[in-house]
Structure 1
Amino acid sequence: MELHIDLHRLPETSMIVIIILLIAAIALIIGLSVAGNSTTNDVTTVNAVGQIGGNVILSCTFTPDVKQSSDILWEKVGDTGVVYKYENGKISLSDQNSNYKSRTSLFLNELSVGNASLRLNNAKVADTGVYKCTISNSKGKGDNKLSLNVGAFSDVTVTNNNQTGLLCDSPSWYPMPTVTWLNITSGDNITNAAETRTEAGLNGAVEVISEFKRIEKNIQYRCVINNNLARAEADAILTDSGLKTETRLLILSSGPMTSPSRLLLCLVFLSILLGAVNM
């Protein structure tokens, strides 16, 4: 026999009891969260995208402690050893993972204002992964994670090829990108009418060369090259006075990694309670 309780048919006193219990549960969640934050550093990180062979900043900020120097620990999830350690006012790299030797540094003069960001030089595809920044001082201990993706991406140039075609060329992409052609004037996707090829580039990347041959005057065309890291676009229009172009490169990032908010936790708990009542 199935027992089902309809909230709308409960006596008024029962409804009041349930509401009081729900309010008490929410207050407990908020209280525990506030109590926890009073002894734990508020650490904020932001996901990052790096160019192969270039330098990338892994952002990590915290509430500074004016009473004492903060200890900073950077680790990569799944790796042994540390990426970087600053402890008791000194750089401590005795247990640093060899993959990061001579490639990492902090902005030491900015630790006092809460900047624990890590500079990673000569980025490699193997550096891709999840990193954790941990801060310890008299306020307590706090940490947060960020995701780093390393690849290749570059601006695209567009030229008028043989007077009847448009040629898009971008020298460095990894992972392998997709290429899309659009007729902006009509709104049509014209990719199938274009020819695209790749050639070997530097550092394991590829050069992308794509041509659309049947251009018309006073029609605006767009060439788009993108992978999961970046998106390059080139707009072009051929007029009686010549070819006019505009290009742009957008680096893609998923933004900061954050913990669930107190409000979200309360809503989840509330839904669980309501579900239990209605069973």
Structure 2
Amino acid sequence: MCLLQGSAVTSAPDSATNVHLGMSHFLGCLSQVPYCVINIIIILAGAIALIIGFGISGKHFITVRTFTSAGNIGEDGILSCTFEPDIKLNGIVIQWLKEGTLGLVHEFKEGKDDFSQQHEMFRGRTAVFADQVVVGNASLRLKNVQLIDAGTYTCYIRTSKGKGNANLEYKTGAFSVPEINVDYNASSESLRCEAPRWFPQPTVAWASQVDQGANFSEVSNTSFELNSENVTMKVVSVLYNVTINNTYSCMIENNIAKATGAIKVTDSEVKRRSQLQLLNSGPSPRVSSVLLVVWALLSLSTARC
């Protein structure tokens, strides 16, 4: 409709009238455009200007990547973070922050650790790999992992090339590899599966290579014994009526880890194997800070359309 009306303006008697009518027509057309569309145009224009501005200034958002991981209570843990390498060590700043915690988890700047703003709960428990910072390793070593250490962490990096950050979900619990032994004290042939430390309380399931898909819940007994620190628990599961020349597996799993112990008993020997797998571990998604802000503003604008 606006284009058809605009073609009629060219037939005006003089140029001044043409300009006046053209401007009036443009404003009239603009008034027909939804307000939210105008907002979107302004937001996109601002984002483009911001990106161009960073390009002209020589600064940009560097790539920072974190890896979701889990900490084993009472042991040392690693919060993994990498960034674009920079040979200018004195210009690199690494800050680790924890959501809901005042102060810093850890800070590294001017080639050394700075504990001046560190929260007291992390005092004496953190360190970065200082000799690997220039190659882009900002991972944090956390000593004596506690249950309260679980949460959302941010790895913030600033270098001569720019700055960036990424979040990391850190879970804490207890997990250990089970060991299976033949229980010679039982009245019948049985297997005993033990794992010293688990938290939260896991599930336990038995499997057999010969009887695949069988349910062993009625011929097994599982117990959980609280350890001395009153947090973790010892897992003990006994499987009865086992047969020789068969491979049995004991699987222990919670929301953090999955561990499996297996045993094969023959007339001449006993073979064992075990494995431990952390669940939901891997690279965390990375979204540019500029794009994140633009996305949020666009969401608000389109919601009003």
TM-score interval w.r.t. the shorter chain? 0.7 to 0.9
* Aligned partner (choices 195, 200, 213) of residue 221 of structure 2: 195
- Provide the rounded CA distance (Å) in 1 between the counterparts of 2:146 and 2:96: 17
CA contact (8 A) 1:71 1:86 kept: yes
- Provide the rounded CA distance (Å) in 2 between the counterparts of 1:145 and 1:56: 17
CA contact (8 A) 2:70 2:278 kept: yes
Q: More helix per residue: 1 or 2?
A: 2
Offset at residue 79 of structure 1 (A): 1.0
- Provide the rounded CA distance (Å) in 2 between the counterparts of 1:164 and 1:139: 66
1:93 aligns with 2:93: no
Offset at residue 69 of structure 1 (A): 1.9
Hey, what does 2:167 align to over in structure 1?
145
- Provide the rounded CA distance (Å) in 2 between the counterparts of 1:90 and 1:254: 30
Specify the code of the residue in structure 1 equivalent to 2:77.
V
Hey, what does 1:174 align to over in structure 2?
199
Specify the code of the residue in structure 1 equivalent to 2:178.
V
CA contact (8 A) 1:180 1:225 kept: yes
SS class of match (2:148) = helix
CA contact (8 A) 2:67 2:79 kept: yes
In the alignment of these two chains, the number of paired residues is 241
Structure whose alpha-carbon radius of gyration is higher: 2
1:60 aligns with 2:75: no
Hey, what does 2:245 align to over in structure 1?
218
1:129 aligns with 2:129: no
* Aligned partner (choices 254, 265, 275) of residue 238 of structure 1: 265
SS class of match (1:185) = coil
- Provide the rounded CA distance (Å) in 2 between the counterparts of 1:87 and 1:159: 52
TM-score normalised by structure 2 residue count: 0.71
1:76 aligns with 2:102: no
- Provide the rounded CA distance (Å) in 2 between the counterparts of 1:180 and 1:139: 52
- Provide the rounded CA distance (Å) in 2 between the counterparts of 1:164 and 1:242: 15
CA contact (8 A) 1:43 1:61 kept: yes
Specify the code of the residue in structure 1 equivalent to 2:209.
I
Specify the code of the residue in structure 2 equivalent to 1:47.
T
Deviations 1:161-197 (A, max 9, x none): 1351111011111111110011221212312321011
Deviations 1:104-150 (A, max 9, x none): 11111211111111111111010011110101122221000111111
Q: Name the Cα RMSD after superposition.
A: 3.0
Hey, what does 1:17 align to over in structure 2?
none
Offset at residue 237 of structure 1 (A): 2.7
Q: Structure 1, unaligned stretches of length 5 or more?
A: 1-24, 269-279
Deviations 1:59-106 (A, max 9, x none): 111112335521111100111111011234443222211100000111
CA contact (8 A) 1:160 1:243 kept: no
CA contact (8 A) 2:105 2:122 kept: yes
SS class of match (1:147) = strand
- Provide the rounded CA distance (Å) in 2 between the counterparts of 1:89 and 1:157: 45
* Identity percentage of aligned residues: 36
CA contact (8 A) 1:46 1:257 kept: yes
SS class of match (1:189) = coil
Specify the code of the residue in structure 2 equivalent to 1:173.
W
Specify the code of the residue in structure 2 equivalent to 1:182.
A
Hey, what does 2:67 align to over in structure 1?
46
